[in-house]
C-alpha cells in the first residue's frame, strides 16, 4: 500500500479518535481496561515528510466501567489528576514513509515526569482531508511514579492502544 500524506497543519478529531489502556492485575488473572473520554491534539507534516505535534489526554476522563476503581486511579497513588490533569505525548520526530508505517519518537509525560517513548504507527487511511493512525505500545507505570501495588497484584507493563484521526486544520 502506497501512502501519500499531504503537508500542512492537522487537528485531531476527538470524535473519531480513541486512547485506551489495558493492564493485567490480580497476579495476572484479570485485565483491567479503560478508555480516555477526552483527547486533543495537533500536528504538522513538513515538505520533507517529517512530522511533529502533540496528543493530550484528560487524565480524569479515564473510564474503566468501575466508578470506585476510576476514583482510585484519579488519586495520588496513580494519575494524581488534581496536580497533573493532562497526559501528553509530544512528537519530536517522525517520518511518514510511503509504506504507511511510521516510526515516531517523542516524550510521554505522565504525572509531570517525561520519558522518551518510541512508537510504531500504521496509517490506516489517508486523504487530502484526513489521516488515521493506529498504534500500540507499552509503558512501565513505575517510571512515572505510579508504584502503588497492594499485595503485589499489579505487575508488568501497561498497554496503550490508540486510533487517532487528524483532519486538515483550517488556517
- Structure confidence by residue, pLDDT tens digits, 89-104: 999 988 766 788 889 9
- Look at residue 148 in the predicted model and tell me its pLDDT: 56
**What cell was used for 56?**
493530550
| Whether the model pTM is above 0.95 | no
Q: Where are the domains of the chain?
A: 8-168
Overall fold of domain 8-168: Lipocalin (2.40.128)
pLDDT confidence bin for 30, thresholds 50/70/90: confident
With pLDDT > 70 as the criterion, what percentage of the chain qualifies?
89
CA angle 23/26/29 to nearest 5° reads: 80
**What cell was used for 82?**
488534581
Q: Collapse the DSSP code of 170 into the 3-class scheme (helix H, G, I; strand E, B; otherwise coil) and give the result.
A: coil
Q: CA distances (Å), 157 to each of 24, 43, 146, 169, in order?
A: 8, 28, 12, 35
- Look at residue 155 in the predicted model and tell me its pLDDT: 63
Q: Which residues contact 36 (CB under 8 A, 6 or more apart)?
A: 18, 19, 20, 57, 58, 59, 61, 62, 63, 87
Q: Which residues contact 57 (CB under 8 A, 6 or more apart)?
A: 19, 36, 38, 39, 86, 87, 88
Q: What is the pLDDT of residues 6-18, one digit of tens each?
A: 889 999 999 999 9
Amino acid at each position: 500500500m502506497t501512502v501519500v500524506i499531504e503537508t500542512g497543519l492537522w487537528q485531531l478529531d476527538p470524535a473519531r479518535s480513541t486512547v485506551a489502556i489495558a493492564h493485567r492485575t490480580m497476579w495476572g488473572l484479570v485485565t483491567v481496561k479503560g478508555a480516555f473520554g477526552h483527547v486533543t491534539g495537533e500536528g504538522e507534516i513538513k515538505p520533507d515528510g517529517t512530522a511533529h505535534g502533540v496528543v493530550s489526554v484528560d487524565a480524569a476522563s479515564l473510564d474503566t466501567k468501575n466508578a470506585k476503581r476510576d476514583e482510585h486511579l484519579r488519586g495520588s497513588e496513580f494519575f494524581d489528576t488534581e496536580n497533573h490533569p493532562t497526559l501528553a505525548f509530544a512528537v519530536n520526530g517522525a517520518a511518514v514513509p510511503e509504506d504507511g508505517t511510521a516510526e515516531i519518537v517523542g516524550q510521554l509525560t505522565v504525572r509531570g515526569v517525561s520519558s522518551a517513548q518510541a512508537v510504531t504507527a500504521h496509517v490506516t487511511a489517508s486523504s487530502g482531508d484526513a489521516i488515521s493512525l493506529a498504534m500500540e505500545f507499552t509503558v512501565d507505570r513505575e517510571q512515572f511514579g505510579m508504584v502503588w501495588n497492594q499485595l503485589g497484584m499489579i505487575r508488568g507493563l501497561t498497554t496503550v492502544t490508540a486510533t487517532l484521526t487528524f483532519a486538515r486544520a483550517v488556517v
